[in-house]
Chain A
């Protein structure tokens, strides 16, 4: 059974077509990386997986059932920014996942359940290397540590799929390398499915077991919004193999010149 299944997916905003005719199936345990130029609809596709957007046409399925039309605990997410709550300490951020699940009315745990939840939260912080920062607020953490925290927080729910929206885009290259090691380790150890949007082609090749390229097949110079993007390349990867050569040089140069700022 595929975790994610898209069949003939379209997304249109009025006259603007963003995505057209997208077919995709993602198997459990896949680490899918998605690259594409700015405005190619890869973030729109991620938002549809989140449930923030609904497809205009076509089917999107999660575990065989129609994709819920709002975000839920079965899909964890880490954004480039603002993924953690500034008013909670690192521990509080991770603990929140347990509190929301087990205390529907007051969203706080007391006594023994709280001690159990705290133990789980501390374990998760340790897993991402934030034990010493447990009582710091996000504004006191570096960018890399904030993203570690966001990942820990998302993993508390044991989501079916972890969605990453350019999670390391704002980080320094050195830190980014550490984060790559962390996410690969978590992916291997926890046996999760990851769907990651990135604008860094190398990152896409290094991390994924499968790389998707979103691009427009048809262009109308007089009406830029007339045609949408679709998946133009779907490349299975073996970790460690240099597979970038499988992409035509023209695509490679276009992607690696993608500016850092990603709009929509």
Chain B
């Protein structure tokens, strides 16, 4: 008998094992839901899968009586717009500031302690300030996301630039490169794939801040909807929404990973070594 650390599941068994926890949770839910509904057919806490499917179909196809919009898509569009705007702004700022502070000692000494202190501020604690300063519209939500994920991304990129072997920076100088050219042709291209990695790792936090901001002040959005219908114990809306948000986050994560492979073929092959 081989040691446990040397035993590996085959392809089929591996996939089955991966699905197993999902199936178990689903099974437990169905059983619990059935038990509660048997006691009280009007129970709202654990709706049956059929009820949730009905609710989801209604949310995804029927226009709302109040606004005339189809709720699920309108909420998704509003949330994704906020999330992607925040993430895109963070990516650009992180790349610009992170590579510059990583490469230029004067900038690093000037900005590093300040950015480290900034990163220590709990973003949710300044949410009221954002609402006061930028109003309760889209801007404050985007700013919250940026504030929440930018410090980590910036410091991550700065570290990646500092990790570029000194030999390469010297080599670039012996090829006649100026600071600007080295930033443009050595530091930025080599940290771009890291930027996508850092973004992937920040997505969870970005969703957190998005939903928090939407829960407090919004007129539509996935987080807004969940917190709105909470008042009516509307679990048949909340649970499909949570599943949908999870699916969106999962897809974005996979998309960024793929993008890294497509855009930077040297990155994957270099790391495999």
Contacts and interface: CB of A to CB of B under 8 A. Distances in A.
A183 interface: no
Contacts of B269: 137, 139-140
A101 B270 contact: no
Given A137-B265, A140-B269, A73 B176 contact: yes
A228 interface: no
Nearest to A78: B171
Interface in B135-182: 165, 167-168, 170-178, 180-181
Interface in B228-271: 264-267, 269-270
B181 A83 contact: no
A86 B173 contact: no
B173 A72 contact: yes
B178 to A, nearest CB: 7
Nearest to B267: A87
A76 B173 CA distance: 9
A6 to B, nearest CB: 20
A54 to B, nearest CB: 15
Contacts of B178: 100, 104
Nearest to B186: A85
B174 A106 contact: no
A220 B27 CA distance: 77
A181 interface: no
Contact of B176 (A84, A138, A139, A157): A157
Please indicate which of the listed interface residues B173, B176, B272 has the most CB atoms of chain A within 10 Å of its own CB: B176
B184 interface: yes
A175 to B, nearest CB: 17
Given A87-B266, A137-B269, A107 B185 contact: yes
Contacts of A237: none
B189 interface: yes
A96 B172 CA distance: 9
A49 to B, nearest CB: 11
A71 B171 CA distance: 8
Contacts of B265: 137
Contacts of A107: 177, 180-181, 184-185
B2 interface: no
A79 B167 contact: yes
Contacts of B33: none
A156 interface: yes
Nearest to A102: B176
Please indicate which of the listed interface residues A81, A105, A139 has the most CB atoms of chain B within 10 Å of its own CB: A139
Interface string A135-163: 00111100000000010011011010000
B174 to A, nearest CB: 5
Nearest to B271: A139
A50 B176 contact: no
B76 interface: no
A82 B190 CA distance: 13
B65 interface: no
Contacts of B270: 86, 137-139
B3 interface: no
Contacts of A84: 171
Contacts of A70: 173
B66 interface: no
Interface in A82-114: 82-88, 96-97, 99-101, 104-107
B273 interface: yes
Given A100-B185, A106-B184, A137-B270, A81 B165 contact: yes
Please indicate which of the listed interface residues A100, A105, A153 has the most CB atoms of chain B within 10 Å of its own CB: A100
Contact of B273 (A81, A85, A106, A139): A139
A51 B185 CA distance: 22
Contact of A87 (B173, B174, B176, B264): B264
B175 A153 contact: yes
A185 interface: no
B167 A72 contact: no
A199 interface: no
Given A79-B167, A81-B167, A107-B185, A86 B176 contact: no
Contacts of B184: 106-107
27 contacts: A70-B173, A71-B173, A71-B174, A72-B173, A72-B174, A75-B174, A77-B170, A81-B167, A83-B168, A84-B171, A85-B171, A85-B186, A86-B266, A86-B270, A96-B175, A96-B185, A100-B172, A100-B176, A104-B181, A107-B180, A138-B266, A140-B269, A153-B171, A154-B171, A156-B175, A157-B174, A157-B175
The 7 closest A-B pairs by CB, nearest first: A82-B165, A71-B173, A73-B176, A82-B167, A139-B270, A137-B266, A107-B181
Interface of A: 50, 52, 70-73, 75-77, 79, 81-88, 96-97, 99-101, 104-107, 137-140, 150, 153-154, 156-157, 159
